[in-house]
Amino acid sequence: MVVEHEARGKAHTMIDEALTVERTQVQTRGERTRALRARQDAVVYPAVGRLQLYGDEPLAVDRASGMYLYDVEGNRYLDFFGGILTVSVGHCNEEVTEATIRQLKRAQHTSTLFVNEAMVAFAEKMRDVTPGDLSVSFFTSSGSEANETAIMTARMYTGRTDVIALRHGYSGRTQTAMSLTGQAPWRSGLVYDGYIKHVRNPNMYRRPAGMSEDAYLDLCVSEVEDVISSSTEGRIAAFIAEPIQGVGGFVVAPQDYFRRVKPIVEEAGGLLIIDEVQTGWGRTGVGMCAIGHWGVQPDVMTFAKGVANGYPVGVTITTPEIAAAVDHLTLATFGGNPVAMATALATVEYIERHGLVRNAAERGRQLRAHLERLCSQRACVGEVRGMGLMQAIEFVADDGRPDAARAGAFVSAARRHGLILGKGGMGGNVIRIAPPLIVTAEQIEEAARVMGLALQEVA
């Protein structure tokens, strides 16, 4: 067994070396991928296979390690999308995996009927890394459930139902989360929560022609007031937003936005819910949570994705007073699962021990400098934006409209050169670049080289 494992390890090392020598073009033959994809299509919802954010051909992952994915054809890819911003400390991170296995052998599942040390320890960690007096968590298995829980909590605490969300935001795929989502393609439930109202998102790049940034910010802020006073009872349960809209195309909220919105929400009796499913856990390089950068204290926060490096964990955290309002029976069978909790704790400790928030800031600056250099003279690039290791390129046509075809060609070209990137944005025209937080300076250089080639091919 050990010998076989070592032999496999050696074979992988040889493949890695061979690919390091000849890295410029991926040799995708595709037979195994096509066969696997055909089997998938027969037994899995077709909607699953339709979502190819990383290029025009399916990619079947065989294994993954650190910053790299290996497909079933034997190709290696530098992964700058991290399982959609979820693999925060590298694929199959050894220290985290060891913690997972240790807990797996000790007690695998208990449900929250029983007290379990792993859940308590991670909840204590959540209290320590989130801002202000947020200290009480409810655990689930996804970001959608985390947002569902946040809205339920706000409604029970305030005794009101109306909720304000941002256009172009993404909140998940439960009925409430789809209702919060401000993007038609992601709303597919047919029945929506009519108490959720959407306001203009402060996307400075897409502001009306001729309007200054200050005037557009004023408009976005005053729209929150207008919608509360015209489309709700005048009192609300909550306002929910992502500091950087992830699926929306890494749209960074202006510095003053939340500081100006919070008093309006408070005046209407509502809670401020900040969704850090994508921005959380150090990715933006400004702290474990991004919201500190905007200088406001949320009443409720939600997390998922990178929290447990790919293990399914959703977290809703709030104050003891607000949490106490949830006074009916409620249970998430897999929430607080000891293996998930041990994995989450090991992930956050790894980020702290290895200084990965600082790495996200430094490598983010390096990546951003490359993107600005590569895109500065390109008419097809409307904007380069982002924070830390959450950077984006928005492709536009001559008339400024979203250019989804060029964005698709760009991610496909990058993939042919061995780099995985993601797509997003309302128009499907934004490249999302979000490597795991362990990314090195050399890997940023390599990604920049490939993006330069891809840009030449599509520009």
Ligand X SMILES: Cc1ncc(COP(=O)(O)O)c(C=O)c1O
Residue ranges binding ligand X (CB under 6 A): 142-144, 147, 170-173, 242, 246-247, 275, 277-278, 304
For residue 113 the two structure tokens come to 């009927």
Element (H, E) at 238: strand 238-241
Task: Report the residue number, 171 or 337, with the smaller CB distance to ligand X.
Answer: 171
Task: Report the residue number, 246 or 418, with the smaller CB distance to ligand X.
Answer: 246
Whether the Cβ atoms of residue 370 and residue 150 lie closer than 8 Å to each other: no
Query: What are the φ/ψ torsions at residue 244 (nearest 5 degrees)?
Result: -130, 120
CA 72 to chain centre: 26
Task: Report the residue number, 170 or 216, with the smaller CB distance to ligand X.
Answer: 170
Nearest approach in angstroms of CB 147 to ligand X is 6
For residue 381 the two structure tokens come to 């690039």
State the sign of the Cα–Cα–Cα–Cα dihedral 196, 199, 203, 209.
positive
| β-strands 251-252, 244-245 pairing | antiparallel
Helix (H/G/I), strand (E/B), else coil: 43: helix
Nearest approach in angstroms of CB 116 to ligand X is 22
Task: Report the residue number, 177 or 409, with the smaller CB distance to ligand X.
Answer: 177
Task: Report the residue number, 75 or 147, with the smaller CB distance to ligand X.
Answer: 147
Whether the Cβ atoms of residue 36 and residue 72 lie closer than 8 Å to each other: yes
> What strand order describes the sheet that includes 163-166?
136-140, 314-318, 300-303, 271-275, 238-241, 163-166, 196-199
Nearest approach in angstroms of CB 313 to ligand X is 9
| Tokens 């409720």 -> residue | 300
Task: Report the residue number, 78 or 178, with the smaller CB distance to ligand X.
Answer: 178
**By Cβ distance, which residue is nearest to ligand X?**
143
Nearest approach in angstroms of CB 416 to ligand X is 26
Nearest approach in angstroms of CB 233 to ligand X is 27
- Give 73's contacts (C-beta < 8 A, 6+ positions apart): 27, 28, 29, 30, 31, 32, 33, 60
Task: Report the residue number, 75 or 278, with the smaller CB distance to ligand X.
Answer: 278
Residue type, 403: D
Task: Report the residue number, 143 or 338, with the smaller CB distance to ligand X.
Answer: 143
Task: Report the residue number, 173 or 207, with the smaller CB distance to ligand X.
Answer: 173
Nearest approach in angstroms of CB 421 to ligand X is 16
Task: Report the residue number, 247 or 409, with the smaller CB distance to ligand X.
Answer: 247
CA-based nearest residue to 284, from 387, 354, 436, 391: 387
Nearest approach in angstroms of CB 458 to ligand X is 26
Determine whether 247 is exposed, middle or buried from the number of CB atoms within 10 Å of its CB (0-12, 13-18, 19+). Answer: buried
Nearest approach in angstroms of CB 441 to ligand X is 28
Cα torsion 184, 187, 193, 197 to 10°: value is -30
Nearest approach in angstroms of CB 85 to ligand X is 8
Nearest approach in angstroms of CB 171 to ligand X is 5
CA-based nearest residue to 179, from 158, 164, 200: 164
End-to-end CA distance of the chain: 51
State the sign of the Cα–Cα–Cα–Cα dihedral 432, 433, 434, 436.
positive
> What strand order describes the sheet that includes 76-79?
61-65, 68-71, 76-79, 419-420
